[in-house]
Chain A
Amino acid sequence: MSLFTKFASLAAQYRQLEEAGANPFNVSFDSVLSPTEAMLKGRSVLLLGTNNYLGLTYDPAVIAKAVEATERYGTGTTGSRIANGSYAGHQELEQALAGYFNRKHGMVFSTGYQANLGMLSTLAGKDDHLILDADSHASIYDGARLGYAQVTRFRHNSPEDLDNRLRRLKDTPGDKVIVVEGIYSMLGDTAPLKEFAAVKRSYPDTYLVVDEAHSLGVLGENGRGLAEAAGVEADVDFVVGTFSKSLGGVGGFCVSDAEGFDILRVVTRPYMFTASLPPGVIAATLEALHQLQTRPALRRQLTENANRLYDGLAALGFTVGPEPSPVVSTVMPSPEAAFAFWARLLHGGLYTNVSLPPATPKGLALLRSSVSAAHTPAQIDHAIAMFAEAGRELGLIPAAGAKSQGEPVLATAK
């Protein structure tokens, strides 16, 4: 008997993966070379699973800003903003984010996870209600658990079920806070945000939070995410997001027009009781945000690459998500198949992700890829060819030339 007995069955599975020498949850690169390439055990691999959507991690201007700020202001802030004070960069970045989103207020967190932890645990208090999309990211569930609100979940992407939940709460006092995501990280599907906004408008004291973690810099004419693309920014009360995907750094944020927003700085524990972001990260993020705004070609390239991979894998007979997006997942018949496929792809020099329940919806085992604007069409084609070869070898897709059977696109609607 030990503290870890409760993890025994999981530990056995983990050990098995380690012993097989192919553990998707414990990969350690020798070195990373670029947004799309790394070295692993002395061999070059193509990165197709790092959420580096705009490929800005190696942008020379972004790096220069990080270096300059590190040299001038040091490596870290050594504490929280309420204790150690803010540096000019923190406020500059908050203003830049608010300006970009056309909002009055912005607040920066040390990770995207903490942004959700902070906002959800604070916005909805003891007598309020959090209403989450069922397929929400772990950080949303954890943020809901950290606070004191009543939490219920509605069927993924179902405006009808959201309406049911709000109707049941109609005569219950307290504010209602709805939480949805722009792009869902497991299957790459987007929320029906226009419909959600309409439901929200029909109930009093109801607020809408949209997590644009995977859609910032990806969707919308100006890259502001799904709310911009769906034309419903006015209905979104709080936008939450991350710096660690399209912006190539680390950190999280929330922007809003809510009056009195700044009080959150002294009541939001995941903001107050953790070290603030180092000057180098802040400066790099500011520059990356500038690049995101001034280089729409990156977004176009990302979309082209995403469509190329999605269409390519669907044509091979893989079951893919309901719509093309930079997250391209293929549904595997079992976790074992996902592990075998992942290992086979990596052996051939292609790095992807394995996603398993309960992190995935509907108990699905997924082989997940994410595309970058930095991928060349040739790299995408190479990846598709590797999927074809490995998929046929493992019997996951029909042989070359054979007609694929069944419905290639996974419908997420119930």
Chain B
Amino acid sequence: MGGLVGDIREIIFETLRSSLPKPVEITENTHIVEDLGLDSVAVMDFVMEIEDRLDISVPLDKIAEIETVGDLIAAMQNLRAGS
């Protein structure tokens, strides 16, 4: 079951797209707060969607370290690998 790098990446892109009010081009370099205009709570809410999809819990200090979509993918992969 899951855990493949491509799967996690795809799930994150898909979740991110569906939680934004309007379509924005997203790459791994996209800055979550600056480029997407999400506030701290919106970021945590969006991470919740991914937690559900991957059945993992992401500690808040990990979320705080995430700046780009690439960081997010890496963090999720690490957590998934560790669980």
On A, residues with C-beta under 8 Å from B are 134, 144-145, 150-153, 155, 164-165, 168-169, 357-358, 361-363
Q: Which residue of B lies closest to A165 (CB)?
A: B57
Q: Mark B38-78, 1 if CB is under 8 A from A, else 0.
A: 01111011001000100111111100000000000000000
Output the least CB separation between B52 and chain A (Å). Answer: 8
Contacts of A358 in B (CB 8 A): 39-42
A134-B44 in contact given A168-B83, A357-B39, A358-B39 (Cβ < 8 Å): yes
A151-B60 in contact given A134-B48, A168-B55, A168-B83 (Cβ < 8 Å): yes
Q: How many B residues touch A, CB cutoff 8 Å?
A: 16
Q: How far is the CA of A168 from the CA of B54 in the complex (A)?
A: 11
Residue of B39, B45, B58, B83 with highest tally of chain A CB at under 10 A: B45
Q: How far is the CA of A153 from the CA of B41 in the complex (A)?
A: 11
Q: Which residue of B lies closest to A361 (CB)?
A: B41
Q: Which residue of A lies closest to B42 (CB)?
A: A363
Contacts of B45 in A (CB 8 A): 134, 362
Q: Which residue of A lies closest to B59 (CB)?
A: A150
Query: CB < 8 Å: which of B42, B44, B61, B83 contacts A153?
Result: B44
The A-B contact count (CB < 8 A) is 39
Q: How far is the CA of A165 from the CA of B48 in the complex (A)?
A: 11
Q: How far is the CA of A184 from the CA of B44 in the complex (A)?
A: 19
A-B pairs with lowest CB-CB distance, top 8: A358-B41, A151-B60, A152-B57, A150-B59, A358-B39, A168-B57, A358-B40, A165-B57
Apart from A134-B45, A145-B60, what are 17 other A-B pairs with CB-CB below 8 Å?
A: A144-B60, A150-B59, A151-B59, A151-B61, A152-B57, A152-B58, A152-B59, A153-B44, A155-B48, A164-B52, A164-B55, A168-B56, A358-B41, A362-B45, A363-B39, A363-B41, A363-B42
Q: Do the beta carbons of A169 and B44 come within 8 Å of each other?
A: no
Contacts of B59 in A (CB 8 A): 150-152
Output the least CB separation between A113 and chain B (Å). Answer: 19
Contacts of A164 in B (CB 8 A): 52, 55, 57
Contacts of B44 in A (CB 8 A): 134, 153
Q: Do the beta carbons of A153 and B60 come within 8 Å of each other?
A: yes
Contacts of A134 in B (CB 8 A): 44-45, 48
11 CB < 8 A contacts A-B: A134-B45, A151-B59, A152-B60, A164-B52, A164-B55, A168-B56, A168-B83, A169-B57, A358-B39, A363-B39, A363-B42
Q: How far is the CA of A199 from the CA of B60 in the complex (A)?
A: 22
Q: Which residue of B lies closest to A149 (CB)?
A: B59
Q: How far is the CA of A256 from the CA of B48 in the complex (A)?
A: 32
Output the least CB separation between B59 and chain A (Å). Answer: 5
Q: How far is the CA of A151 from the CA of B45 in the complex (A)?
A: 15
Q: Which residue of A lies closest to B41 (CB)?
A: A358
Output the least CB separation between A130 and chain B (Å). Answer: 9
Q: How far is the CA of A358 from the CA of B44 in the complex (A)?
A: 11
Output the least CB separation between B39 and chain A (Å). Answer: 5
Q: How far is the CA of A64 from the CA of B23 in the complex (A)?
A: 62
Output the least CB separation between A153 and chain B (Å). Answer: 6
Q: How far is the CA of A100 from the CA of B58 in the complex (A)?
A: 39
Q: Which residue of A lies closest to B40 (CB)?
A: A358
Output the least CB separation between A92 and chain B (Å). Answer: 38
Output the least CB separation between B36 and chain A (Å). Answer: 13
Output the least CB separation between B81 and chain A (Å). Answer: 15
Output the least CB separation between B29 and chain A (Å). Answer: 22
Contacts of B61 in A (CB 8 A): 150-151
Contacts of A357 in B (CB 8 A): 39, 41-42
Q: Which residue of A lies closest to B58 (CB)?
A: A152
Contacts of B83 in A (CB 8 A): 168
Output the least CB separation between B78 and chain A (Å). Answer: 14
Q: How far is the CA of A155 from the CA of B44 in the complex (A)?
A: 10
Q: How far is the CA of A168 from the CA of B41 in the complex (A)?
A: 22
Contacts of B58 in A (CB 8 A): 152
Q: Which residue of B lies closest to A362 (CB)?
A: B45
8 A Cβ contacts from B13-34 to A: none
Q: How far is the CA of A271 from the CA of B48 in the complex (A)?
A: 33
Q: Which residue of A lies closest to B44 (CB)?
A: A153
Output the least CB separation between A381 and chain B (Å). Answer: 36
Residue of A153, A155, A358 with highest tally of chain B CB at under 10 A: A153
